[in-house]
Chain A
Amino acid sequence: MGRIPSSYLGNRIVTLFLTIFIAATLIWIIPRLSPVDPAEIALGRMAAGAGTVGNSEDILAQLRAQLGIDQPWFVQYAKYLWGIVQFDFGLSTANFPTPVSALIANALPWTLGLMLISITITFFIGNLLGALMVWDHSPKLVKVAIPAAMVLTSIPPILSALLLMWIFSAKLRLFPLTGAYGLTVEPGWTWDFVQSVLYHGFLPALSIVVVTFGFWALGMRGLMIGVQGEDYTTLAKAKGLRPRYILYKYMIRNAILPQITAFALKIGMLIAGQVLVERIFAYNGMGKLLYDAILDQDFPVIQGVSFVIILMTAFSVFLVDLIYPLIDPRIRHGR
């Protein structure tokens, strides 16, 4: 514990950027394996709007130049790399000519807000319930209710979203059906706006929480069973410590460690997991952006969103690596 040695930090940072570089390269290569030509798609869109397009060959060439796909692959690749360093992913083909970075900048705060709140709540509830399933002193009711609640885990998030929407929005009219904030409030740091955001975010967050808490609860249950059998738990009991103290300081404190690593990995995956939920609630976040981009074959946006997912995963894992020695004294950064 204590200071992080600079050699370790240096190593870890190099690995971090190497990971990001390799992943960025992969997301550049993969769409190019597809036979679809984005310029043709854009042309098709024009044609659909205007009925006919004359000079199609010229326009195609122009579009290709604008999208930069008329150049040799290495030039494209170098430009791409230089671009992502500046968070420039080019122009969206579907919302031409909006820059991808602008689309992401609009969507990211919504997703981060929804995601961080829902994943954090899920993490706490899931782990606590998982722990209570194992703990000797849990009320009987809890031990029956939690496994029953696990049924929810088998529901795909789109179904839970639709179900909650139907119950709370359509039938009970407690929550709004769609959107990230009310149409009548002006975005900005006002109390009305914040209220509206929380009000609109509640159902999407809940639909994610109810279907994903089981992941944490089941994992925690397994870890807790292991910890329950450890000699230190037995000794804690033999020391006459209060059961609740043993639960928190001896059992959960040790069982939670691998869950924290899993949490870091989950952060990146959650955008992907949220795609359909955002779509259903017409919540203008990264998930919906990605969903629309896939439908529209909007490669630059797909690339941009994927890159953000990579960045988030890589950085959260990096952070957990750095803080791990603080939560587990047995782990030390290499000398």
Chain B
Amino acid sequence: MTILDIKNISIDFPTSKGVVHAVSNFSLSVPQGRRVGFIGESGSGKTTTALAAMRMLAAPGYVSEGEIHLHSLGDTNVLELSDDEMRRVRLKKIAYIPQGAMNSLNPVMRIENQIWDGIVAHEGHVERAELQRRSRTVLESVGLPASVGRLYPHELSGGMKQRVCIAIGVCLKPDLLIADEPTSALDVITQRQVMQTLREVQETIGAGLILIGHDMGLMAQSVDDLAVMKLGKLVEYGTVRQIIENPQHEYTKQLISSVPLVGGESFIESTPEILRGEAGPLLEFDKVTKRYGNVTALHPLSFSLDGEVPKIISVVGQSGSGKSTMGSLMLGFNAPTEGTVTFRGKDINRLNKADALTFRKDVQAVFQDPYACFNPFYRVDHALKFPFKRFGLAKSESHTRQAMEEACVAVGLDPSLVLRRYPHQLSGGQRQRLIVARALMLSPKLLIADEPVSMVDASLRAAILKNIHDLKDKHGISILYITHDLATAYHVSDYVMVLYHGRVVEAGPPKEVIGSPQHPYTRLLIDSIPWPDLDRDWGSAKDAAAGLDALATGEAAAQSVFRGDITGFDLSVHA
């Protein structure tokens, strides 16, 4: 039985520069109990289409033609309902599950109140005891203890907040759930847990599900049918197996191939000749420990990275594993509690002014959020020019321009198209490439890349990682790649360190560590990655939880497994 029928709808956004056709002639039916994925890049109209079914399009968007029928309302066209009738449809018939890890819950209201107000808005007065019973039940159904109801959102982790959002969505047992990238802000382990929870409650209440996302791997593990969208058009639709095993449209093929796999073919071609740097240790950690109060963010660790043959060292782990702490220690943003961090033989926390300036030039960083890295007030060339001049590298205005243009070309951007623009006029991918270009202009010795691709569309990740990889091969820059994405680490790095609770639990060349993991934590990480492989068992939410519990209590967690060495990088872990 069909629960939602989208018939030939088009959605327009009138702007001062003319009408933008966000979605055109889109038709699709969602059968009861079935999971339908909407996949596409940002701006492809997937969220817009789903929001249209709830009549929640952001102004000035509107449905210019077509109909959306909801079966449980006797096939009424939802576009013709009055505002108050539509209000009653939301949550009760169609529930929206936002990306909840960040900011989807009212920060000044207890969780239980945010479940109750939804119930009361649709059912009128309900006894307090009954409300309490229902919020408890629904929280338990998503695997949260009932006591969570008394807490405020900021007291929960990202994964817990996301599960609260699911609980709110299912509390009135709607016909249809619309989940908008519900796991994109979560790390792989939590992602698996939350996704499986969502599937379980959806099956229990028998609702249909529209899952919006851009990750083909996640879709393969989560949905039955898949709608591929590009530029507001439905380019391909079918069962997920049909689409993944036999994609017809060029764009679908591209989406599938952009998912980096562990093993399989590399998306990076190796360059035969690698530019050599100067010999001698570049970056060294000597028994470095970092504690915040009673919490140890990084357990004692020593390593030495030689600069002669540039390498990419990956640091992988979940959020909270201490990998970003490690990055900020390397950049000198944070001083270690014990031990020393040295760069080319000098303690980076005791540099004189001249050395500190050289250090800042030689060690560059690429961060997660490419938008936040630009001052929105200036055109982007300012961000490139400014450090170049400040570090005294600019010989003349034309020299600066030439350096900027060369750097842009090196990261695959057309300088004439991007340089004179403002940050908001560029895509996330373009911005991140510019950040890489900016680092490149300063010809650094070392680049710290902290989650450089986690905020860009899947289809662009490979290209940006290729840029970063080129820095090593063509420009002789050593790179520390901090990420939670093991598949990309597998392809780009020469050496991998897996961090768990501030401890290196497994380390070695990626073929060993990620290709055949031995430590239970590494195994859990790899099992949690969603791959576009339909025959792989992704495990249930309970498996994910059990895996983490076993680690938290087991002794294995504290032991480090070394899987082989590479020349120019020595690592030792202290008790």
Contact = CB atoms under 8 A, between A and B. Distances in A.
Contacts of B154: 329-330
A238 B121 contact: no
A249 B107 contact: no
Given A238-B95, A240-B90, A231 B102 contact: yes
A328 interface: yes
Interface in A218-243: 230-232, 234-243
A253 interface: yes
Contacts of B105: 232, 235
Contacts of B103: 230-232
B117 A245 contact: yes
B104 A232 contact: yes
A240 B96 CA distance: 10
The number of chain A residues touching the other chain, given as a range, is: 20 to 34
B102 A238 contact: no
Interface in A309-335: 327-330
Contacts of A243: 87
A245 B113 CA distance: 13
A238 B96 contact: yes
A235 B51 CA distance: 12
A250 interface: yes
B424 interface: no
B121 A245 contact: yes
B104 A249 contact: no
B575 interface: no
A76 interface: no
B121 A329 contact: no
Chain A contact surface mostly:
helix
Interface in B82-108: 87-92, 95-96, 98-100, 102-108
Contacts, number: 78
Contacts of B106: 232, 236, 249-250, 253-254
A235 to B, nearest CB: 5
Contacts of A257: 108
B108 A234 contact: no
Interface in B386-414: none
Nearest to A238: B96
A329 B96 contact: no
B91 A330 contact: no
B81 to A, nearest CB: 12
Contacts of B88: 240
A241 B88 CA distance: 8
Given A231-B99, A231-B102, A231-B103, A238 B108 contact: no
Contacts of A241: 87, 117-118, 121
Nearest to A240: B90
Interface SS majority for chain B: loop
A74 B132 CA distance: 67
Given A239-B121, A239-B168, A329 B107 contact: yes
Nearest to A332: B154
A299 B523 CA distance: 78
B95 A330 contact: no
Given A231-B99, A235-B98, A329-B152, A240 B109 contact: no
Contacts of A232: 103-107
Contacts of A231: 98-100, 102-104
A1 to B, nearest CB: 9
Contacts of A230: 103
Nearest to B99: A231
B253 interface: no
B160 to A, nearest CB: 16
Given A232-B105, A249-B109, A254-B108, A242 B87 contact: yes
B249 interface: no
Given A240-B121, A242-B87, A328-B108, A234 B152 contact: no
A235 B121 CA distance: 14
Contacts of B98: 231, 234-235, 238
Nearest to A237: B56
Interface string B494-511: 000000000000000000
A189 B443 CA distance: 81
B54 interface: yes
B536 interface: no
Contacts of A234: 56, 98, 104
A239 B90 contact: yes
A217 B99 CA distance: 32
Nearest to A136: B59
Contacts of B56: 234, 237-238
A329 B108 CA distance: 6
Interface in B33-64: 54, 56
B90 A242 contact: no
Contact of A240 (B89, B152, B165): B89
A249 to B, nearest CB: 7
A230 B90 CA distance: 18
A240 B87 contact: yes
B291 interface: no
A254 B102 CA distance: 16
A92 B54 CA distance: 71
B175 to A, nearest CB: 14
Nearest to B103: A231
A247 to B, nearest CB: 13
A327 B108 contact: yes
A237 B89 CA distance: 11
Contacts of A328: 107-108
A191 B154 CA distance: 51
Contacts of B152: 329-330
Contacts of B121: 239-242, 245
B166 to A, nearest CB: 12
Given A237-B90, A327-B108, A330-B152, 16 more contacts: A230-B103, A232-B104, A232-B105, A234-B56, A235-B105, A237-B56, A238-B96, A240-B89, A242-B87, A242-B121, A249-B106, A249-B109, A253-B106, A253-B109, A257-B108, A329-B152
9 contacts: A231-B102, A234-B104, A235-B96, A235-B98, A235-B105, A239-B121, A240-B91, A245-B117, A253-B106
Interface of A: 230-232, 234-243, 245, 249-250, 253-254, 257, 327-330
Interface of B: 54, 56, 87-92, 95-96, 98-100, 102-109, 117-118, 121-122, 152, 154, 165, 168
Q: When A and B form their complex, which 8 residue pairs have the shortest distance between CB atoms, in order from nearest?
A: A240-B90, A238-B96, A231-B104, A239-B118, A329-B152, A240-B91, A231-B103, A232-B106
